[in-house]
Structure formats: C-alpha cells, structure tokens
Amino acid sequence: MKKFSDFGIKTNVNAFKGEKIKMERVLNREIVIHDYTISPSNFEGDRLTLQIEVSNEMRVVFTGSKVLIDTIKQVPRSELPFTTTIIRENEYFEFT
C-alpha cells in the first residue's frame, strides 16, 4: 500500500495573513496590495482575494467585482506591491 507522500502532492497553503475584513472598511482609504488570487466563487463568477495592508496591518479582502478582477489581471506580478485606493463608482468598485 502506498503512503500519501508517495503521490508527490504539494499542499496549496493560503499564505495570506490577517483578519478578513469587508470591502466597505477599506473604501476611499489608501491601501497597499501585496498579493491576490482569483478563483471560482461559491456564488457566481470569480472571486478576487486581496492581501492588503491598511493602517500598517495586514488584512484579507474578498470581492466578486468583475471590474476589480479585470483590472488587477493587467498588473504584472513583478509590480507587486503597489498602493491604491478602492472607490465605489456608481454600482461597481474600481482602483484609483
């Protein structure tokens, strides 16, 4: 019988640190985006998970915002981290 270690499967650990907070707590505040992931949402479409720093504390924010997802895909990973402010423009969020 094989051992689990024989399969060569690596554990995918979420390295994001900090308390999960709602988007509303970071709106209109300067934040630093350290990393992100895009994965299938439990509801509809994709989910963006952001590793951010706000007020010198690491936090995690989740959103299904298509605008934020489409926009962050255009940022080269080599340019992380970067500062931004997330604002609500009409019915959607955007980086400024």
User: Of the candidates 21, 23, 61, 62, which has an alpha carbon nearest to the alpha carbon of residue 45?
Assistant: 62
Residues 6+ apart with CB under 8 A from 27: 86, 87, 88, 93
What is the Cα–Cα distance from 82 to 16, expressed in whole angstroms? Answer: 16
Give the DSSP letter of residue 46: E
Domain residues for the domain of 57 are 32-96
Q: Looking at the domain assignment, is residue 87 inside a domain?
A: yes
Q: Looking at the domain assignment, is residue 5 inside a domain?
A: no
Q: Looking at the domain assignment, is residue 72 inside a domain?
A: yes
pLDDT recorded at residue 5: 84
**What pLDDT digit, counting tens, does each position of 9-26 carry?**
877 666 799 999 999 999
Q: Looking at the domain assignment, is residue 81 inside a domain?
A: yes
Residue 83 in this model has a pLDDT that exceeds 80:
yes
**What pLDDT digit, counting tens, does each position of 24-79 carry?**
999 999 999 999 999 998 888 999 999 999 999 999 999 999 999 999 999 999 99
Q: Look at residue 90 and give its three-state secondary structure.
A: coil
The pTM is what?
0.82
| Structure token digits, residue 77 | 């990973």
Q: How many domains does the chain have?
A: 1
